[in-house]
Amino acid sequence: MDRRQEILEAASKSFSLFGYKATTMDQVAKIANVGKGTIYTFFENKEILFQEIVVKLILEMKLAAEQEIETSRPFQENAHNVLMKILQFREVHQLYAKLVEEEKELRTPTVQTMLIRIEKEIVSYISEKINIAVDKKELCPCDSELVAFLLFKSYIGLVADWGETHDSELSEERIAALFRDTIFKGLLP
């Protein structure tokens, strides 16, 4: 069997279960049934190995997002579904959730860097979708990069931070209604 692939799977499993810092190369070697040295013939170091796994995570997330899109539906609805899916991904996907947790508690710098990379990817993905919608005249022309950033940060804020200052969680309908009445209303032609 492909040793490289086995190592990737072992590392992915360990990162998902214990996080970046708590995963040792010895452990990865053991799970992959491989000598530790072998890992280094395929991956320069721990961080590079991690990077490759994060790239896979990003692809997975994009795939999950893409599945939420139904071209016949209005942009607003697709955008809402995609953003909610991504935020749900953040909580449900083992690896992503673990990294968010590690960043909050441990502040591992490598994890921090990688999470920023993921966020950048998300924002640029949304930005592309906005550009497409603008071309199709579904939206007014706008600073798509900025609007994407605004949407992402707003959704994160409402879903993840609202609980910090309020007792009850926000319902998805209330969030959808807010965006319908504010940002999207402003963006429609």
Partner DNA sequence: AAAATGACCAAATGAGAATATTGGTCAGTC
Partner DNA sequence: GACTGACCAATATTCTCATTTGGTCATTTT
186 binds its own copies (CB under 8 A): yes
46 binds DNA (CB under 7 A): yes
35 contact choice in DNA, its own copies, none (CB below 5 to 8 Å, kind-dependent): DNA
Other Cβ atoms closer than 10 A to 32: 22
- Residue linked to tokens 């530790």: 36
18 binds DNA (CB under 7 A): no
Only segment of 41-49, 59-67, 92-100, 135-143 that touches its own copies (CB under 8 A) = 135-143
Distance CA 128, CA 115 (A): 20
Structure tokens at 156: 């994160």
Which amino acid type is present at position 133? A
Q: Where are the beta strands (DSSP E) in the chain?
A: none
Structure tokens at 46: 């721990």
13 contact choice in DNA, its own copies, none (CB below 5 to 8 Å, kind-dependent): none
SS3 for 127?
helix
123 contact choice in DNA, its own copies, none (CB below 5 to 8 Å, kind-dependent): its own copies
Distance CA 138, CA 20 (A): 42
State how far Cα 112 lies from the chain centre. Answer: 13
Cβ closest to DNA, residue 45 vs residue 88 = 45
159 binds its own copies (CB under 8 A): no
Distance CA 120, CA 117 (A): 5
Only segment of 26-34, 35-43, 56-64, 161-169 that touches its own copies (CB under 8 A) = 161-169
Binding region for its own copies (CB under 8 A): 116, 119-120, 123, 140, 142-143, 146-147, 149-150, 153-154, 157-158, 161-162, 164-165, 170, 174, 177-178, 181-187
Residues that bind DNA (CB under 7 A): 3, 23-26, 33-38, 40-41, 45-47
